Amino acid sequence: MLKYIIKRVLWVIPTLLGVLIILFSLTYLMPGDPASAMLGPRATPELVEELNNRLHLNENMPTRLGYYLLGVVKGDLGTSVWSGHSVSSLISSSLPHTALLAVSSLGVAAVIGVFLGAFSAIRQNSPISRFVTIVSLLGVAVPDFVAALLLVLLFCVKFPILPSIGAGTDGGILGIATHLILPATALGIGWVGYLSRLTRESMVDVLDSDYIRTAKAFALPQRSIAYVYALKNAIIPTITVIGLGVGKLLGGAVFVEIIFNRPGLGKMIVDAVYARDFPVVQGGILVATILFVLANLLADISYGFVNPQIQYD
């Protein structure tokens, strides 16, 4: 187990190195001269020259890669071509908004989803079980950005009761909370459906197993059999899915943040894409990727702890 953890952690290093190489080589995919592409059609030759020097675009490829890797290792992600702010300062101001959105939507969705799934597995054919079927179908049918649009249409245009723009940082805790409801719902609804169906399936399997029959034979209370003995094992598949889910969540946050105009990481990346502000795009994607890699690492490792049956070679 320890050997596996060490191997798994060390594997992150070459992976992240490869991620950096891909992010670096994206500049080569740009049609034409990257500096003039970033500065737009009205750039003067002096400006282009200056940017070329600043981003080391005149050097040969290995040197540029070296500069880029060195910068990232030192924690310097470059500066924004447009605003002149350092990319790391832009990221540190936008990341909390995305983190809050992601954590609140996935957290609430996981609690609701696991509970609904477990409950509907215990009481099959109950109204809750049918509700889970409908919600999970809805979650599959309506991707997060469509859900966001429909929520805006319903709660901001038809019945204007919730705010639709910004993160509400001026309004204190209450402002932040009300501004979080719609985006978090849009991001989380798919997860409620998915997790409840997943939990229900594995819970049904677990309730069928021998050790539950034994527990029943020992006349343990129904409730503790279901929620203590069964749920503990039924929750295992959910953990890996949540690890993978961080990637989907960050992707979904891009759309949700654009639609609700939240100043988060996703909106920063897309705005930088529109402005052809390449250092910001690179930095934003790098941070999103690191978060995703860490989440997967945690999920992989915790999987071994919750399920001791798993053997690693």
Partner 1 sequence: MNTTSSKRISDQMNRQMSLTPRWTETLIMAFQSVAKVKGGLIGAIFISVMLLSAICAQWISPYDPNAQNIIQRFTGPGTAHLLGTDYLGRDILSRIIYGCRIAVLVAFGAVSLSSIIGVFLGVMAGYNEGKKFDYFIIWLFDIVRSFPQIILALAIVAVMGPSLVNVVVALAFTAFPFYGRIARAQTLSVKEADYVKAAEAMGQKPLTIILRHITPNIMAPVIVCLGMDMATMIIWESGLSFLGLGVRPPTASWGIMLRNGYKYIQVSPWMILWPAVAIALSMIAFSLFSEGLRVALDPKERER
Give the integer Cα–Cα distance in Å for 96 and 167: 11
| 256 touches partner 1 by CB under 8 A | no
Please select the residue that binds partner 1; options are 6, 7, 9, 15, rule is CB under 8 A.
Answer: 15
- Alpha-carbon distance values, 60 to 26, 57, 65, 86, 263 (Å): 15, 8, 9, 24, 36
x/- map, 160-199, partner 1, by CB under 8 A: ----------------------------------------
All residues at 6 or more sequence positions from 37 whose CB lies less than 8 Å from its CB, including other chains = 30, 31, 276
| 255 touches partner 1 by CB under 8 A | yes
Please select the residue that binds partner 1; options are 1, 9, 61, 150, rule is CB under 8 A.
Answer: 150
Nearer to partner 1, 114 or 252 (CB): 252
| 43 touches partner 1 by CB under 8 A | no
Give the integer Cα–Cα distance in Å for 35 and 53: 10
Distance in Å, CB of 276 to partner 1, minimum: 8
Nearer to partner 1, 139 or 215 (CB): 139
Distance in Å, CB of 284 to partner 1, minimum: 8
User: Both tokens of residue 238?
Assistant: 């959910």
Please select the residue that binds partner 1; options are 158, 170, 172, 217, rule is CB under 8 A.
Answer: 158
Please select the residue that binds partner 1; options are 1, 70, 111, 137, rule is CB under 8 A.
Answer: 137
Give the integer Cα–Cα distance in Å for 31 and 8: 38
Q: Applying CB under 8 A, which part among 62-70, 105-113, 139-147, 304-312 lies near partner 1?
A: 139-147
| 251 touches partner 1 by CB under 8 A | yes
Question: DSSP assignment of the chain, as one string?
Answer: -HHHHHHHHHHHHHHHHHHHHHHHHHHHHSSS-HHHHHH-TT--HHHHHHHHHHTTTTS-HHHHHHHHHHHHHTT---B-TTT--BHHHHHHHHHHHHHHHHHHHHHHHHHHHHHHHHHHHHSTTSHHHHHHHHHHHHHHHS-HHHHHHHHHIIIIIIS--S--SS--GGGHHHHHHHHHHHHHHHHHHHHHHHHHHHHHHHHHHHHTSHHHHHHHHTT--HHHIIIIIIHHHHTHHHHHHHHHHHHHHHHHHHHHHHHTT--SHHHHHHHHHHTT-HHHHHHHHHHHHHHHHHHHHHHHHHHHHH-TT----
Distance in Å, CB of 173 to partner 1, minimum: 28
Residues 285-304 that bind partner 1 (CB under 8 A): 285, 288-289, 292-293, 296
Please select the residue that binds partner 1; options are 45, 159, 217, 274, rule is CB under 8 A.
Answer: 274
| 95 touches partner 1 by CB under 8 A | no
| 103 touches partner 1 by CB under 8 A | no
| 145 touches partner 1 by CB under 8 A | yes
Please select the residue that binds partner 1; options are 1, 9, 11, 305, rule is CB under 8 A.
Answer: 11
Distance in Å, CB of 50 to partner 1, minimum: 22
| 40 touches partner 1 by CB under 8 A | no
Give the interface with partner 1 as residue ranges (CB under 8 A).
11, 14-16, 18-19, 21-23, 26-27, 29-31, 137, 140-143, 145-146, 149-150, 152-153, 157-158, 246-248, 250-252, 254-255, 258-259, 266, 269-270, 273-274, 281, 285, 288-289, 292-293, 296
